[in-house]
Amino acid sequence: MNLSEVFRRCKPLIVYICAGDPSPDETVEIAERIVRAGADVLELGLPHSDPIADGPVIQAASQRAIAAGMNTDLYFDIASRIDGVPKVFMGYYNMVYRRGLDRFASDCKASGICGMIVPDLPVEESRPLREAASRHGIDLINMIAPNTPDKRILEIISLSSGFVYLVARSGVTGASADLQESTRHLIERVPPVIPRAVGFGVSRPEHAAELVRAGADGVIVGSACVDLIGRSELDQLEDLIRRMKRAMTEVSVKSAASIRQS
């Protein structure tokens, strides 16, 4: 299933984990539990030594994974062993560039990955990878931030496929207590010509529900899950995903019902 189909079927809950954390051997099992709990898309991170867009939780996970021997070859090996869920790559540009853009996109394809998120690759730098990705039928997912001007949003959208990743707030990844008004405003500013998934700071079922209510087409949760993995609390991880998914579905069902009533 490709990403457009996923978004046509539902408002997906997209779950990020750092491949190789706590060890390469455990990632497949963790991913299976996440899928079982109801994640619609798995965003599988390739750890980098210098993750400038990430907060302390994902930094720590990246360091654990690298220390446990994680590398790009193992990454694709792990990815190809995870079934039953659409998979998206997330990783920093140097890791992609170093392997070779075409080879990287081809390895994604071969291991069943359908999209790529590269947080340090803004649109004006993205052409070479976009071309390589599209040669292999992979979506390159662009990000839009609260401070992205309207004109630039249109440019970004025109160069996007799959979905766009709306960054809920300034700063880096990491759980936060509540959602900001600027997030709602951002969803309104991005025209719904392509699915809009919102991430950064989403950590509770209420956040996920609120985002769907505000018009998000999908919700991305990362640090909250990575934090539980770091503490080996996998039952709680499943529980969190289940509750998030349920909260999102309830909103969708209610709004569908209210549309039918009117």
Partner 1 sequence: MDEISCEVRFGRYGGRFVPETLVQPLVELAEAFERLRADPEFSGELSKLMRDFAGRPTPLYRAENLSRAIGRDVYLKREDLLHGGAHKINNTLGQGLLAKYMKKKRLIAETGAGQHGVATAIVGALLGFETEIYMGEVDIERQRMNVYRMELLGARVIPVRSGSRTLKDAINEALRDWAASYESTHYLLGTVAGPHPYPSIVREFQRVIGDETKSQILAEEKRLPDSIVACVGGGSNAMGIFTPFIEDDVRLIAVEAGGRGQGMGTHSAEHGASLAFGDPGVLHGAMTKILQDPYGQILESYSIAAGLDYPGVGPELAHLVETGRVETATAGDKTAIMGFKALSKLEGIIPALESAHAVGYAIEHPEMLGELSVINISGRGDKDLHTVIAYESV
Catalytic residues: 43, 54
What are the CA-CA distances from residue 31 to residues 74, 226, 259 (Å)? 15, 12, 35
Hey, which residues between 10 and 39 contact partner 1 (CB under 8 A)? none
CB atoms within 10 A of CB 232: 11
121 binds partner 1 (CB under 8 A): yes
Residue 123 has which token pair? 């649109």
Does 172 engage in binding with partner 1 (CB under 8 A)? yes
Looking at beta carbons only, is 134 or 170 nearer to partner 1? 170
50 contacts partner 1 (rule: CB under 8 A): yes
DSSP string, 102-125: HHHHHHHHHTTEEEEE-TT--GGG
Q: Which of 22, 38, 146, 215 lies at the binding interface for partner 1 (CB under 8 A)? A: 146
- Smallest gap from Cβ 202 to partner 1, in A, equals 16
Compute the distance between CA of residue 138 and CA of residue 132 in angstroms, rounded to an integer. Answer: 9
**Of the candidate residues 137, 171, 191, 192, the single one contacting partner 1 (CB under 8 A):** 171
Please pick, from the candidates 117, 141, 145, 216, the single residue that binds partner 1 as defined by CB under 8 A.
Answer: 145
Contacts (CB under 8 A) with partner 1, residues 55-114: 55-56, 59-60, 63, 66, 71-73, 92-99
Residue 36 CB neighbour total at 10 angstroms: 13
| C-alpha triplet 124, 127, 128: angle, nearest 5° | 135
- Strands 143-144 and 139-141, sheet pairing: unpaired
List residues near partner 1 by CB under 8 A. 48-53, 55-56, 59-60, 63, 66, 71-73, 92-99, 119-122, 124-125, 142-149, 152, 167, 170-172
